[in-house]
Chain A
Amino acid sequence: DTEVTQTPKHLVMGMTNKKSLKCEQHMGHRAMYWYKQKAKKPPELMFVYSYEKLSINESVPSRFSPECPNSSLLNLHLHALQPEDSALYLCASSQGFLAGYEQYFGPGTRLTVT
């Protein structure tokens, strides 16, 4: 099973709402990632967890709060977002955090902030 699942598929939220995105993998991978992808642009790395610890935060605004409850799950908590945060949010996982490990991407959550 090489699948990364993400829920929900679509999310519409107001600027004062609090919501969460969920990502799950059962491949035994120890590194998990959040990316943001705007339309017709490449994915941009937001956060990396390695062995359930936050390894990289690419200077992401605090209105995005990641959480890794266990080695299979990754959450992204959203609060007080702006319309410019509307994008496709992709989760990925890899066996480890060494360069060269294939990153497996989920289908993404399409987020619209109104």
Chain B
Amino acid sequence: QQQVKQSPQSLIVQKGGIPIINCAYENTAFDYFPWYQQFPGKGPALLIAIRPDVSEKKEGRFTISFNKSAKQFSLHIMDSQPGDSATYFCAVSRMEYGNKLVFGAGTILRVKS
């Protein structure tokens, strides 16, 4: 059973556009929701993360929106740039299970110049 479902699989936007990537989870016990960015040939790197007591968090051009009742969270990239072209993974974890991350399937983003 997939613990977190991520969509879309791939996304192409024009430079300056606002790509939105969505994740949905089933288990309400999850309490930590990070987004990771991975460039080809590199390991994933943490972009931004949120806890369920907050509905939105912004860090630079990246925003997480969190809807606890719908069990969904999404990543918005403002003023996207070609350098944002990468694979994005959402993840979930539970405090009682320590720092064990379960990743979504990933979204390949391409920002066209």
Binding site for B on A (CB under 8 A): 4, 31, 40-45, 48, 50, 55-56, 90, 92, 94, 96-108
Report whether A98 and B105 are in contact in the complex, using a CB–CB cutoff of 8 Å.
no
Report whether A98 and B98 are in contact in the complex, using a CB–CB cutoff of 8 Å.
yes
Known contacts A42-B103, A55-B98, A100-B99; is A107 also within 8 Å of B41 by CB?
yes
Binding site for A on B (CB under 8 A): 31-32, 34, 41-46, 49, 51, 89, 93-95, 97-106
Q: How far is the CA of A108 from the CA of B89 in the complex (A)?
A: 17
Known contacts A99-B94, A100-B32, A105-B43; is A42 also within 8 Å of B99 by CB?
no
User: Could you give 15 example pairs across A and B, Cβ below 8 Å?
Assistant: A42-B89, A42-B103, A42-B106, A45-B101, A56-B100, A90-B43, A96-B99, A99-B32, A100-B49, A100-B95, A102-B34, A103-B101, A104-B45, A105-B43, A105-B44
Q: How far is the CA of A100 from the CA of B41 in the complex (A)?
A: 25
Q: Given the complex, which residues of A lie within 8 Å of B93, measured CB to CB?
A: 99
Q: Smallest Cβ distance from B13 to chain A, in angstroms?
A: 20
What does DSSP make chain B's interface, helix, strand, loop or mixed? loop
Q: In chain B, what residue has the closest Cβ to A100?
A: B32
Known contacts A105-B43, A105-B45; is A42 also within 8 Å of B104 by CB?
yes
Report whether B43 and A108 are in contact in the complex, using a CB–CB cutoff of 8 Å.
yes
Report whether B101 and A50 are in contact in the complex, using a CB–CB cutoff of 8 Å.
no
Q: How far is the CA of A55 from the CA of B98 in the complex (A)?
A: 10
Report whether B100 and A48 are in contact in the complex, using a CB–CB cutoff of 8 Å.
yes
Q: Given the complex, which residues of A lie within 8 Å of B34, measured CB to CB?
A: 102
Q: Smallest Cβ distance from B52 to chain A, in angstroms?
A: 12
Q: Given the complex, which residues of B lie within 8 Å of A103, measured CB to CB?
A: 46, 99, 101
Report whether B44 and A43 are in contact in the complex, using a CB–CB cutoff of 8 Å.
yes
Known contacts A41-B105, A42-B105, A42-B106; is A97 also within 8 Å of B98 by CB?
yes
